[in-house]
Amino acid sequence: MLAVLQIAVLLFSLAVPTGTALATDPSSDPSASPTESPSTSPSDTPAPSPSDTPAPTEPPAPTPAPTDTPAPSATPTPPPASNPVPYIVTFTAGSTALEQQAALTAAHATVESTVPELRMVFVSVPAATAVDDFISLQASPAVVGLEADKTRAAEGTPNDSSYADQWSLPKIGWDQLYGTATPSGSSTVALLDTGVDGSQADLAGSLVAGTSVLDGSNGLTDANGHGTWMAGIVAAQTNNGSGVAGVGFAGVRVMPVTVLGADGTGQDSDIIAGVVYAADHNANVILMAFSNPAFSPALQAAIDYAWAHGAVLVAAAGNDGSDVATFPAGDRG
């Protein structure tokens, strides 16, 4: 339990502190004087005057006959299809599968994934009918909760490999504890983030089986780096002459649960699934280093579920020293 408290203290201390031109006829010289053509032979018959001979004309173009068929008009280019709108639907405890399906069908909803433990279904609806579909779901007696599937972003992504070179450890008295106390037992920290690079030598022996909610893999890849950074803060090998020292220098293991994409953002639907996964797999601590200023009742329900399963939840409060609440750090529990 000491390792759990160490992690929580560090994370809270860290929180405070994009067309053609016509060519001129070369034979024409406007400056040249006109000359008379020499006569080939005398004649009593005068040459016809140019004005006496009408200039030849081209035959008139035929006039098209009228037709009842209208001229074809240009086909308008259809507007680009909008992205589907994602919602989180929570059904009542007593609703049947048929009632739930009827509500989703009436709202043109496509099921993306589910969390049966919380009676939640993550759906998408066509953008063109999103408002009407929302109203339809809201009016269904089988639906008890409905909200947008919000996006949350990772907090404090480091910009170099030696970011904050352990400055935070003395702030929490870690240097006074290390070498004088040996934590007993073990704790598993479920890290809900961008994944963890399993090839990092400084994390050897510190990782346990996890998952990726995004693609079903084991969570041991990290296309962003934020998750690996957090894993190092929690459980990097200590006193091995390499890398950094983890806060949990003994008895702490990290369970990677990928819920954020390579861009460092993730949807509430994936985060909720990750929280439930961690709770169901006996995580002692669930670490969420991301935030959004908007409260989510569905995410709060997942947090309540994890608390009921004995997990301690820790979330980032941001890095700007603001007193404005963000979530999930501002959630109950």
Question: Which CATH code for domain 85-149?
Answer: 3.30.70.80
3-state DSSP assignment of residue 152: strand
The pLDDT profile of the chain, 333 residues, written as one tens digit per residue, is 445 545 554 554 444 443 333 333 434 444 444 444 444 444 444 444 444 444 445 555 555 454 454 444 444 444 445 799 999 999 999 999 999 999 999 999 999 999 999 999 999 999 999 999 999 999 999 999 999 999 999 975 444 344 446 677 777 787 777 777 777 788 999 999 999 999 998 899 999 999 999 999 999 999 999 999 999 999 888 777 777 778 887 789 999 999 999 999 999 999 999 999 999 999 999 999 999 999 999 999 999 999 999 999 999 987 777 888 899 989 986
Say which CATH class 152-315 falls into. alpha beta
pTM exceeding 0.85: no
**Cβ density class 98-107: b for 16+ within 10 Å, e for less:** ebbeebbeeb
**Residues 249 and 240: beta-carbon distance below 8 Å:** no
| All CATH 3.30.70.80 domain ranges in the chain, comma separated | 85-149
Give the CA distances from residue 172 to residues 13, 25, 154, 290, in Å, rounded to whole numbers and listed in that order: 8, 92, 23, 22
Span(s) in the chain for CATH 3.40.50.200 = 152-315
> Looking at beta carbons, which pairs linking 238-243 to residues 24 or more positions away fall under 8 Å?
238/178, 240/202, 242/201, 242/202, 243/200, 243/201, 243/202
Residues 6 or more apart whose Cβ sits within 8 Å of residue 150: 267, 268, 292, 294, 296
Q: How far is CA 260 from the centre of its chain?
A: 8
